[in-house]
Amino acid sequence: MEVMVYDSLPAHAKAYVERIEDYTKTSVEFIGTGPGREDIIVRRKKILSLNK
């Protein structure tokens, strides 16, 4: 199963990522989903926008 977006991850995988975030008080921005370089989910939270 090829997963390219966070919302497509199984519920238990999302719960695991969220547990890591709670435990470390840090956001998880990159999630590897396979052996290749392209097998990664980039999950960045927008903190500040300078565009008006």
Structure confidence by residue, pLDDT tens digits, 6-22 = 999 999 999 999 999 99
Q: How many domains does the chain have?
A: 1
Residue 47 domain-assigned (yes or no): no
- Reading the block at residue 39, the tokens are 């097998």
What is the tens place of the pLDDT at every residue in 23-36?
Answer: 999 999 999 999 99
> Is there a domain that residue 51 lies in?
no
Distances (CA, A) of 3 to 6, 12, 18, 30, 46: 8, 14, 17, 13, 22
Q: Is residue 52 part of a domain?
A: no
Q: Is residue 16 assigned to a domain?
A: yes
> Domain of 23?
6-42
pTM: 0.73
In a domain, 13, yes or no: yes
